[in-house]
A and B are shown apart, each in its own frame.
Chain A
Amino acid sequence: MAVTTRLTWMQEKKLQNYLGEKQFSLLYKASVRAISAKDLLQTCYNQGPTITVIYSFDRILGAYIQENYHENKPVRITLLVLEGTEISRCEIGPRLPHCFYCSWYDRNKISNFLIDLSEKTVKMSLGTIKELKLPENQKISFQECEVFRCEDLLDTRKMKGVTELRESLLSAIRTYKPYRDLVHQVRILLLGPTGAGKSSFFNSVKSVFRGCVTHQVLVGSGTTGTSEQYRTYSVKAENDGSPLPFMLCDSMGLSEEGGLCMDDIHHILKGHVPDRYQFDCMKPITQTNSNYIKFPLLKDRIHCVAFVFDANSIENLSNEMVTKIRRARRETIKCGVVPLVLLTCVDSMDLIRRGDIIDIYRCTPVKLKMEAVHRELGFALSDIFVVCNYTSEWALDPIKDVLNLSALRQLLWVADDFLEDLPPEEIDLKWIPFARPVRLSEFSVTP
């Protein structure tokens, strides 16, 4: 009895994208309510653009009317045939809406397109059939018929909501204070394979707070890694220039050969690695390095780790990469930090459009990607967040910002969880001016 569409996510999305980023609202479903053509039309009048979808075995036939229509208004119909992933189309009309339906008294009406609801057939002229590349059979029987209203996927109502949400997230993050003020800024480390979008994520976050898109950090294009230095970035608030309560730490990407040294991770987490440290993929940093931070304070340590993955390559990670990621995760947990996952590049997935980003967690293919991360790498689903980086755009997009800021807020919460859970001896005795903060380093030097 449930009134839900028979279209699969993929089929619905194909049609919606074809019609220009629409979303469908189901108005009528034949198998639930058998009615006359007249009553059906009554339901469709004054609904704005509509599409009638007819299911004939493996084929889907759509009749799209772009204009708002009523009884006395002739309309043009765009006929679509969706077969597999191919769409073909043809235009007919203009004619009065009721002329597309066949009623019991004029079953022999001649037309180039006629739906018979009671007989469950569609009749088309040879010309139409040819244009739609259908087999030469003028009468097609169908199993189901549904009518949808086509709304814009993004309308002013939604954009207004998104903009408000963006403001509230921005202010929540600006006013965030690390747990018990143990540090002024929490440090978030970005780890992940080469080209996953770590540097881009920093650029995106910086852009939101700057109020315009910036590409401060060079991002990659090829397959070889771009970031080779360890960089810790602070972001300034747009209004008063004060630093925001977090820092993003960008590392060299992980790679099957070369890339970030696994042994460096521990040193980064414990705060030994200085800003601008030049990574050497052959050997990890050592105490003898001139800028090695021997006695890091709590503020120098990493308080939160985000593993960044490109959604499009998650199923193709090599075994070596999976092993490295699992090891890096163990290392993170060993240092008391619970890692989260940021999934990038969902915007470049097949069929995903800008409007989908608003409700990205409901998108079937994105859910599948998250499940793949869960399955392949063993992260809990609740620890995986979708982000959407600025790549080529010039203007800020509140839709992307909302996604990135929501993830950032979760990262800050994780940092708080870390600080709250610190063993007392690892908290700096900052109220004693010259207290030597050795406790920390004694814990952190690897044997």
Chain B
Amino acid sequence: MAVTTRLTWNEEKGLQRLLGNVSLSLLYKSSVHGCSIKDMLERCTLQGSTVTVIYLDKIIIGAFILGHYPQEDRDFEKQTSSFHFLFKKNTTEITTAFLNTAPKITSEELTFYSSGYNKIFSLTPHKCHFFLATLLAKILKVRPGVFGYLECEVFRVEGIKDDGGYIRRITGATERRSTLLAELRNYKPYADLVSEIHILLLGPVGSGKSSFINSVKSVFRGHMTRQAAVGSDITSITELYRIYSIKDGKDGTSLPFMLCDTMGLDEKEGVGLCVDDIPHILKGCMPDRYHFNPQKPITSRHPNFTSPSLGDRIHCVAYVLDINCINNLTSEMVVKLKQVKEEVLNSGVAQVALLTKVENYHEVLQDNFLNMKKSVTSQSQIMEVQKILNIPIYNILLVDNYASDWEPDPLKDILILSVLKQMLQAVDDYLEDLPPQRTDEVARVSQLSICD
């Protein structure tokens, strides 16, 4: 008769992940504590956010309530972000339905009302049955109606953000993630001007260039991959110029965009990436795996120096900066960044800034994931970047790489994919805007590389 949940360990983990890596504490279990609404309320009132779970033969249905449990016979409180989910036993795939509802306790029921005062979902503990309205049943892909259940449990959810928007985002994350993945899988460069987009990452030592590449690869791969070495040291960990293609799944096809990794910039001269290497990289003369020499740039005499017309020309430069260091950049580093910027301007390619190590990464995007929130907490850093690099705000992108954790996180994935999508958008704008003869030139280059 121990008070232990009926969820298997695996199901419990799945639920914790769904709610964003929270802890669950079992507060009430009907078979032990009694089946009346009073038994339930005695243990669940004023316990913070909770999830109420009912068990059927083969499925488990749950309702999350943000903030305290409703109290008996109170008037309607304002609607909160409750949501419902369903999973089949012994799987970890969870179907979720986000609805703004108001939970209310009436004499013997816990009922969730939608804005139109419609009953969406209700529990009648003393009868061990529940009601599922058509609206909700449709989203959860089950039949609507009144059914019996075997047991009901209530857990307190600890470690969840007390914010309706956050709940909306984590419940919508899986779906948005698949949409974004599909969009990027179908991406074709603007008007087929080039066959592959090359995005070059430039930035100070340790700013997260290599981690970003790993992160993008990991999202498409489905688990953590580590092709680029990352870490911190006094000088750059990355010593080779690397062009990474992005594969779609194991053994999958390569997607039409490449990420190019470089040695980090150092504020001192003769250390870190040589600014004079940048024009060669931009023109596509720099061979893959070229060993950077901080003291002097590559020359055309290098045995693998690629001829510019055939090479991997860069279409977009991303300035990668650690968001936590932006307000403390030394004046030498600012000078260096401006030199780099100068070189990039000469080639006229698209430019974005990528700010990494954003701790509150789940708050960057709007609840519908379509835009960056106006009120992002990193305003001052964004302004600073805009000032130093003169990049419009819509091209200042925020991300958190897979660097402190390797557990898949849909919200993190969404931000990584959104950032990538935004980079490709910037490239398309650039390609569309090319003067006609340059367009020819770019087109010719791509033709040649296809023949190659």
Contact = CB atoms under 8 A, between A and B. Distances in A.
Q: Is chain B a partner of chain A in the same complex? A: yes
Interface of A: 1-4, 25-27, 32-33, 39, 42-43, 46-48, 68, 149, 151, 155, 157-158, 160-162, 164-165, 180, 326, 329-330, 333-334, 338-340, 378-383, 410, 413-414, 416-417, 420-421, 423
Contacts, number: 113
The 7 closest A-B pairs by CB, nearest first: A161-B9, A378-B232, A3-B48, A33-B46, A25-B25, A333-B229, A381-B404
26 contacts: A1-B67, A3-B46, A3-B47, A26-B25, A33-B45, A42-B42, A43-B43, A46-B3, A149-B3, A157-B4, A158-B9, A161-B8, A161-B13, A180-B251, A330-B233, A334-B239, A339-B229, A340-B226, A378-B232, A380-B230, A380-B231, A380-B404, A382-B402, A382-B405, A413-B225, A423-B289
B137 interface: no
B150 interface: no
Contacts of B228: 338
Contacts of A382: 224, 402-406
Contacts of B229: 333, 338-339
B198 interface: no
Interface string B240-252: 0000000100110
Interface centre among B10, B27, B226, B250 (most CB of A within 10 A): B226
Interface of B: 1-5, 8-10, 13, 25-27, 32-33, 42-43, 45-48, 67-68, 156, 158-159, 162, 211, 223-233, 237, 239, 247, 250-251, 288-289, 402-406
Given A378-B231, A381-B404, A1 B226 contact: no
A381 B225 contact: no
Instruction: Tell which of A3, A161, A381 has the most Cβ of chain B within 10 Å.
Output: A3
A428 B152 CA distance: 61
A151 B4 contact: yes
B67 A43 contact: no
A43 B42 contact: yes
Contact of B237 (A4, A26, A162, A333): A333
Contacts of A158: 9
Given A27-B43, A155-B4, A382-B405, A413 B223 contact: yes
A378 to B, nearest CB: 4
A27 B25 CA distance: 8
B230 A162 contact: no
Nearest to B43: A43
Contacts of B25: 25-27
Nearest to B1: A68
Given A2-B162, A157-B8, A160-B8, A420 B227 contact: yes
Given A26-B25, A382-B406, A420-B227, 15 more contacts: A1-B68, A3-B47, A3-B158, A25-B27, A32-B46, A43-B42, A155-B4, A157-B8, A165-B10, A333-B229, A333-B237, A380-B231, A382-B405, A383-B231, A416-B250
Contact of B226 (A27, A39, A378, A383): A383
A417 B226 contact: yes
B213 to A, nearest CB: 11
A416 B42 CA distance: 54
Given A3-B158, A160-B9, A381-B404, A417 B225 contact: yes
Given A155-B4, A326-B233, A380-B211, A46 B10 contact: no
Contacts of B13: 161
A338 B226 contact: yes
A90 B208 CA distance: 56
B406 A39 contact: no
A157 B33 CA distance: 20
A290 to B, nearest CB: 34
A2 B158 contact: yes
A25 B4 CA distance: 11
B48 A1 contact: yes
Nearest to B407: A361
A27 B26 CA distance: 8
Contact of A39 (B42, B231, B403): B42
A160 to B, nearest CB: 7
B406 to A, nearest CB: 5
Contacts of A160: 8-9
Contacts of A68: 1
A164 B8 CA distance: 11
